[in-house]
């Protein structure tokens, strides 16, 4: 088993989603001692895509400049980590009712036509199949699945668009209202999680 461990919280040691992703990875590796883990901390910075990225990565120039090659290599590195993984463990802290910008940037980096999805006569087809995703959702005041939770549905949709349809959530939500209850719900979901 190859595990890709993704964190995106900006709150460091105080992060609930970081603790949850670590606990999920620990559970998976305890049950699968031969598992390997690649950790990617998106808080270290994931560049937003822009016109330079589009010219380099999407337009695939025959002779890229050094700057273009750097952008290509970076996007390829993000994507290759996902392609190699059997399980993705993704920290999803909710900021302003949505996912962190660095997590959105990472999704933009890996959503590449012809590599992670393709268009067919029947519509789009995800190419990152046979993978499991476990999402560690944390929110101070946004209940998961509520009308103002624009994070979990979007992330589930994007993963599905890329072919990852086995998606589970371990949610610590409404932490500002009742922190202990939110953490207890997350722990119960973690306990129920198949390793």
Any idea what the CATH number is for the domain that residue 144 is in? Answer: 3.40.50.360
Rounded-to-integer distance, Cα 135 and Cα 94, Å: 12
- Which positions make up the binding site for FMN? 15-17
The pLDDT assigned to 181 comes to: 95
Tally of domains in the chain: 1
10: containing domain: 2-192
Q: What is the pTM of this model?
A: 0.96
- Which positions make up the binding site? 15-17
As a three-state string, the secondary structure of 22-61 is HHHHHHHHHHCCCCEEEEEEHHHCCCCCCHHHHHHHHCCC
- Average pLDDT per consecutive 10 residues, the chain (195 residues; last block may be shorter): 97 95 97 97 96 94 94 97 98 97 98 96 96 98 96 98 98 96 95 90
The DSSP secondary-structure symbol of 85 reads -
The pLDDT assigned to 60 comes to: 85
Task: Output Rg (C-alpha) for the chain, integer angstroms.
Answer: 17
The pLDDT assigned to 195 comes to: 83
Reference 105, options 173, 53, 160; nearest CA is 53
């Amino acid at each position: 088993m190859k595990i890709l461990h993704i964190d995106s919280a900006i709150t460091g040691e105080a992060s609930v989603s970081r603790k949850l992703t670590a606990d999920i990875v620990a559970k998976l590796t305890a049950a699968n001692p031969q598992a390997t883990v690649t950790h990617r901390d998106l808080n270290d910075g994931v560049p937003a895509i822009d016109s330079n990225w589009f010219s380099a990565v999407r337009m695939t120039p025959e002779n890229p400049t050094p700057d273009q090659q750097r952008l290509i290599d970076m996007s390829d590195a993000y994507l290759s980590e996902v392609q190699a993984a059997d399980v993705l463990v993704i920290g999803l802290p909710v900021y302003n009712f949505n996912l962190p910008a660095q997590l959105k940037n990472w999704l933009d980096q890996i959503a590449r036509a012809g590599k992670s999805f393709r268009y067919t006569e029947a519509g789009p087809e995800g190419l990152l199949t046979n993978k499991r995703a476990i999402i560690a959702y944390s929110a101070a005041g946004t209940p998961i699945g509520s009308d103002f939770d624009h994070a979990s549905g979007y992330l589930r949709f994007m993963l599905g668009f890329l072919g990852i349809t086995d998606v589970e959530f371990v949610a610590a939500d409404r932490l500002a209202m009742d922190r202990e209850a939110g953490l207890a719900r997350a722990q119960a979901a973690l306990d129920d999680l198949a390793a």
